[in-house]
A and B are shown apart, each in its own frame.
Chain A
Amino acid sequence: MTDQINVGLLCGGVSKTFGNHKALIDVSLSVNKGEIVTILGPSGCGKTTLLRIIAGLELPDNGFVFLDSEDITRVPASKRPINTVFQSYALFPHLDVFSNVAFGLQARKTPKSDIVLKVRNILALVRLDGMEKRFPHELSGGQKQRVALARALVNEPKILLLDEPMSALDAHLRSQVQEELRTIQKKLGTTFILVTHDQNEAKRLSNHLAVMHEGKIIQFGTTEEVFTKPANKFVAEFLGATNFIDASRVSDTVYDTHYGPMLVNDKPNWNNGKIIIWPERIQIRADAVPGENNWFSGKVMDRLFNGDGVDILLVKDSDDDVPEKPILVKAKPDFQVESGQRLGVFFPPEHLVPLDKHTLN
Chain B
Amino acid sequence: MKQKRPIVALIAFFSMALMYVPSIAVAVFSVNDAIYGLTWRGFTLRWYQKLIQNEYIIDAAINTLFVATVSTLIATVLGTALALGLYRFPWPPSCHRLFDLVINIPVVVPDIIMAVALALAFNALRLLSKTFDMGMVTLVVAHVTFQISFVALVVKSRLESLGPETDEAARDLYASSFFHFRRVTLPLIRPGIIAGAMLAFTLSLDDFIISFFNHGPDSITLPIFIYASIKRGLTPEIHALSTAVLIVTAIPIIIAERLTRKF
In the bound complex, do residue A55 and residue B172 qualify as a contact, i.e. CB atoms below 8 Å apart?
yes
Q: Is A155 an interface residue (CB 8 A)?
A: yes
**Given contact pairs A93-B263, A94-B263, A77 touches B171 in the complex (Cβ within 8 A):** yes
CA distance A360 to B79 in the complex (A): 54
Interface hit among A81-89, A183-191, A227-235:
A81-89
Question: Closest CB-CB distance, A355 to chain B, in whole Å?
Answer: 39
Q: Within residues 65 to 107 of chain A, which ones have a CB less than 8 A from any CB in chain B?
A: 76-79, 82-84, 86, 88, 90-94, 103-104, 106-107
Residues from chain A with Cβ under 8 Å of B170 in the complex = 92, 103, 107
Decide: A57 and B171 in contact? CB cutoff 8 A.
yes
- Give, as a whole number of angstroms, the nearest-CB distance from B263 to chain A: 6
B188 interface hit (Cβ, 8 Å): yes
Which residues of chain B are near A55, meaning CB under 8 Å?
Answer: 172
Question: Measured between C-beta atoms, what is the minimum distance from A172 to chain B in Å?
Answer: 27
Q: How far is the CA of A82 from the CA of B168 in the complex (A)?
A: 13
Q: Does A47 contact B (CB under 8 A)?
A: no
In angstroms, Cα B172 to Cα A86, docked, is 10
A56 to B163, CA, bound (A): 18
Q: Say whether B165 contacts A155, CB under 8 Å.
A: no
Q: How many angstroms between the C-alpha atoms of A125 and B183 in the bound complex?
A: 26
Cβ A151 vs Cβ B263 within 8 A: no
Q: A86-B165, A88-B165, A94-B188 are in contact. Are A78 and B263 (CB under 8 A)?
A: no
Stretch from B1-9, B136-144, B173-181 that touches the partner: B173-181
Q: Are A83 and B188 in contact (CB under 8 A)?
A: no
Which residues 151-210 of B sit at the A interface, judged by CB distance below 8 A? 163, 165-166, 168-176, 179, 183-184, 187-188
Which residues of the partner chain A approach B169 to less than 8 Å between Cβ atoms? Answer: 84, 86, 90-92
Partner of B168, one of A57, A91, A155: A57
- Which A residues are CB-close (under 8 A) to B163? 88
- Is A79 within 8 A of B174, CB to CB? yes
Interface presence of A21 (CB below 8 A):
no
Residues of A within 8 A of B175 (CB): 78, 103, 107
Is A108 at the interface (CB under 8 A from chain B)? yes
Interchain CB contact (< 8 A) of B173 among A88, A93, A104: A104
Q: Which residue of A lies closest to B169 (CB)?
A: A90
Given contacts A57-B168, A92-B184, A94-B187, contact A83 B173 (CB under 8 A): yes
Docked-complex contact A83 and B184, CB < 8 angstroms: no
Give Cα A107–Cα B179 distance, bound, in whole angstroms: 7
CA of A155 to CA of B174, assembled, Å: 10
Chain A residue at minimal CB-CB distance from B186: A94
Residues on A with beta carbons closer than 8 Å to the beta carbon of B263 = 93-94, 137
Pair B184/A77 contact, Cβ less than 8 Å: no
In the bound complex, CA of A323 to CA of B165 (Å): 51
Are A83 and B172 in contact, CB atoms less than 8 angstroms apart?
A: yes
Smallest distance from the beta carbon of B258 to chain A beta carbons, Å? 16
Q: Which chain B residues lie closer than 8 Å to A92 at the CB level? A: 166, 169-170, 184, 188
- Given A86-B165, A90-B166, A92-B184, CB of A77 within 8 Å of CB of B172: yes
Q: Report how far A93 CA is from B183 CA in the complex, Å.
A: 12
Question: What is the CB-to-nearest-CB distance from B100 to chain A, in angstroms, rounded to a whole number?
Answer: 23
CB closest chain-B residue, reference A136:
B263
Which of A55, A56, A57 has the most B CB atoms < 10 Å from its CB? A57
Chain B residues with CB under 8 Å of A94's CB are 187-188, 263
Shortest Cβ distance from A55 into chain B, in angstroms? Answer: 6
Given contacts A93-B188, A94-B188, contact A76 B171 (CB under 8 A): yes
B residues 55-80 in Cβ contact with A at 8 Å: none
User: Which of the residues B176, B183, B184, B187 comes within 8 Å of A78, measured between beta carbons?
Assistant: B176
Residues of chain B with a CB closer than 8 A to A83's CB:
172-173
Q: Verify A57–B172 contact, CB threshold 8 A.
A: yes
Q: Which residue of B lies closest to A81 (CB)?
A: B174
A78 to B172, CA, bound (A): 5
- Assembled-state Cα–Cα distance A55/B171 (Å): 10
A56 partner residues in chain B, CB cutoff 8 A: 171-172
- Which residues between 146 and 200 of chain A lie within 8 Å of chain B, taking CB atoms? 151-152, 155
Complex interface: chain A residues within 8 A of B176 (CB)? 78, 107
Give chain A nearest CB distance to B94 CB in angstroms. Answer: 16
- Please determine whether B174 and A107 come into contact, CB atoms closer than 8 angstroms: yes
B171 neighbours in A (Cβ, 8 Å)? 56-57, 76-78
**B186 CB to nearest chain A CB (Å):** 10
Report the Cα distance A106→B174, complex, angstroms.
9
Give the B-binding residues of A (Cβ under 8 A).
55-57, 76-79, 82-84, 86, 88, 90-94, 103-104, 106-108, 137, 151-152, 155
- New A-B pairs, 9, CB < 8 Å, besides A86-B169, A107-B183, A152-B173: A57-B172, A77-B171, A90-B165, A90-B169, A91-B169, A92-B169, A92-B188, A103-B173, A106-B179
- 22 A-B pairs within 8 Å (CB atoms) are namely A56-B171, A56-B172, A57-B168, A78-B171, A78-B172, A78-B174, A78-B175, A83-B172, A84-B169, A86-B169, A88-B165, A90-B165, A90-B166, A91-B169, A93-B188, A93-B263, A94-B188, A107-B175, A107-B183, A137-B263, A152-B172, A155-B173
Taking beta carbons and an 8 Å cutoff, which residues of B are in contact with A? Answer: 163, 165-166, 168-176, 179, 183-184, 187-188, 263
The 10 closest A-B pairs by CB, nearest first: A104-B173, A90-B169, A90-B165, A107-B174, A107-B175, A77-B171, A94-B187, A78-B171, A84-B172, A108-B174
